[in-house]
């Protein structure tokens, strides 16, 4: 048993308090508490395990993303026997979209557990989804696939997955705008620039113009996210024209 595991399996008051908090969120008492502690450790702390390997939530996030995608794919495969590959892929993308995962993370209030050198209010929205995926990775590593599948059904599929509603859900407003611009021969341009301001994390701002007229703006911790925010605002502003 390595040093990290020895420390985190000890019954220190801090570990016991964290374990009780996890039990309230998850509905069960974690076996390997160190996995869940790692799931909420931000890379800014620069923690290393006894082998000198970085210890933060990013590896668990990678695992959780894969497990979540597999469980959702299996559910859709059985739930919609008439769905072809393209349809099933589209539906899975809607369920595990960054926006949806952020909502799940917010609902569980996961951000309050993060250990980081960065103040919580300086994190972008994606931290919620990242933590949710890391938590799924921790659950799988602790309890196994079958248990994790049941957890995903309880916390994701049963309360949130409505096939008919998802069929009409837009996953990329930027794609919708680009498709509309091509059909209507409109010229769309995204002007992206760094806009850090007083924030600890780097931010990007976007000005979205249609035929040289600025119709919306967006700001986020990544260019892609900022463009999507601006696209969503532009979509609702131009919805009548787009859906005509």
The answer for 138, left when phi > 0, alpha when psi is -120 to 50, beta otherwise, is alpha
- Distance of CA 23 to CAs 35, 49, 138, 141, Å? 14, 25, 14, 16
Q: How far is CA 33 from the centre of its chain?
A: 22
User: Residue for token digits 């959780």?
Assistant: 64
Q: Which of 65, 149, 227, 228 is catalytic?
A: 65
What's the CA gap between 155 and 242, in Å, rounded?
35
In the structure encoding, which two tokens stand for residue 91, read together?
């539906």
**195: annotated active-site residue:** no
The one-character DSSP state at 153 is: I
| 65 a catalytic residue | yes
Active-site position among 61, 133, 227, 228: 133
User: Read out DSSP for 97-116?
Assistant: -HHHHHHHHHHTTGGGG-B-
Q: Which residues are catalytic?
A: 65, 133
């Amino acid at each position: 048993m390595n040093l990290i595991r020895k420390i985190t399996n000890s019954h220190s008051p801090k570990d016991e308090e964290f374990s009780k908090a996890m039990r309230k969120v998850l509905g069960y008492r974690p076996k390997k508490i160190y996995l869940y502690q790692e799931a909420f450790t931000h890379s800014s702390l620069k923690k290393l395990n006894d082998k000198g390997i970085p210890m933060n939530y990013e590896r668990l996030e990678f695992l959780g993303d894969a497990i979540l995608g597999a469980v959702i794919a299996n559910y859709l495969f059985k739930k919609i026997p008439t769905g072809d590959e393209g349809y099933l892929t589209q539906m899975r993308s809607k369920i595990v979209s960054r926006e949806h995962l952020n909502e799940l993370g917010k609902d569980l209030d996961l951000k309050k557990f993060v250990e980081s050198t960065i103040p919580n209010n300086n994190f972008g929205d994606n931290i919620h989804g990242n933590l949710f995926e890391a938590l799924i990775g921790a659950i799988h590593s602790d309890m196994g696939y079958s248990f994790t599948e049941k957890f995903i059904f309880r916390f994701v599929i049963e309360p949130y997955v409505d096939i008919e509603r998802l069929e009409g859900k837009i996953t990329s407003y930027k794609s919708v705008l680009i498709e509309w611009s091509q059909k209507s021969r409109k010229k769309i341009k995204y002007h992206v620039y760094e806009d850090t301001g007083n924030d600890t994390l780097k931010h990007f701002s976007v000005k979205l113009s249609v035929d040289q007229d600025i119709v919306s703006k967006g700001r986020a911790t990544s260019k892609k996210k900022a463009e999507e925010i601006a696209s969503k605002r532009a979509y609702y502003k131009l919805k009548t024209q787009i859906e005509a």
